Structure 1
Amino acid sequence: MAWTYLFFAGLFEIGWAIGLKYTEGFSRLVPSVLTVICMAASVFLLALALKTLPVGTGYAVWTGIGTIGTAILGIVLFGEPATVARLACVGLIVAGILGLKMAA
């Protein structure tokens, strides 16, 4: 169950990272409220996952999921560059997450 919590914590991390862009410095109410909800849900689910997972593994996977999702959505939603080097680095993060999951 811990890995499920961690996965959803990572998805909520993507939500708040992308949400920050839409809050315009927390000057827009609805995006700001949704972003804060995502922040709270992400940290809460991470805390549940860390009850049984090693903190280093859990934190690295959580941030990795957030990093990958945010980078991909940045490309899709905001037209950020999708260079070979950038995509290769995202692939390395995926490899790191898979390695940590197999080692845990």
Structure 2
Amino acid sequence: MAWLSLILAGLCEALGVVTINKLNNSRNWQSLLVLILGFGASFVFLAYAMKTLPMGTAYAIWTGIGSAGGALLGIMIYGESKDWRRIACIAVILGAAVGLKLVG
């Protein structure tokens, strides 16, 4: 259950990051609410996961999912660059997160 919670925390983090861009483009209370709820849920899920998982592993995977997810959502939603080097770097982030799980 801790791993599922950690994955949800990372996905909520990615949602929060994407919402920051949305809030910068059009300031409205709905975007602000999604931002607060996204980051709030992310911290709640992360805290739950850290009751079982080591702090270093949980934090690294949480930030990896959040940063890779934010980059992928930026590509899909905002038309950011799909350059192969950018995709390769996202794959490295996700591969490192999986590696932490395998060695931990």
User: TM-score, normalization: structure 2?
Assistant: 0.94
Once the two structures are aligned, what percentage of the paired residues are identical?
A: 38
After superposition, give the CA deviation of every residue in 1:49-100 in whole Å (9 maximum; x if it has no partner).
Answer: 0111111100000010011111111111111111111111111111101101
1:25: how far off? 7.6
Alignment-mate amino acid for residue 90 of structure 1 = I
Judging changes above 3 Å, is the alpha-carbon distance between structure 1 residues 26 and 54 closer, same or farther for their aligned structure 2 residues?
farther
The answer (yes or no) to whether the contact 1:49–1:58 under 8 Å persists in 2 is yes
Q: Look up the match of 2:51.
A: 51
User: TM-score, normalization: structure 1?
Assistant: 0.94
| 3-state SS, counterpart of residue 35 of structure 2 | helix
| Deviation beyond 6 Å, 4+ runs, structure 1 | none
Q: Unpaired runs of 5+ in structure 1?
A: none
| 3-state SS, counterpart of residue 33 of structure 1 | helix
Paired with 1:26 and 1:50, the residues of 2 have a C-alpha distance of 35
The answer (yes or no) to whether the contact 1:64–1:93 under 8 Å persists in 2 is yes
Q: Look up the match of 2:37.
A: 37
Judging changes above 3 Å, is the alpha-carbon distance between structure 1 residues 64 and 87 closer, same or farther for their aligned structure 2 residues?
same
Paired with 2:30 and 2:10, the residues of 1 have a C-alpha distance of 21
Paired with 1:26 and 1:87, the residues of 2 have a C-alpha distance of 28
2:69 corresponds to 1:73: no
- Over aligned residues, Cα RMSD in angstroms? 1.4
Alignment-mate amino acid for residue 59 of structure 1 = Y
1:24: how far off? 2.2
Paired with 2:90 and 2:76, the residues of 1 have a C-alpha distance of 14
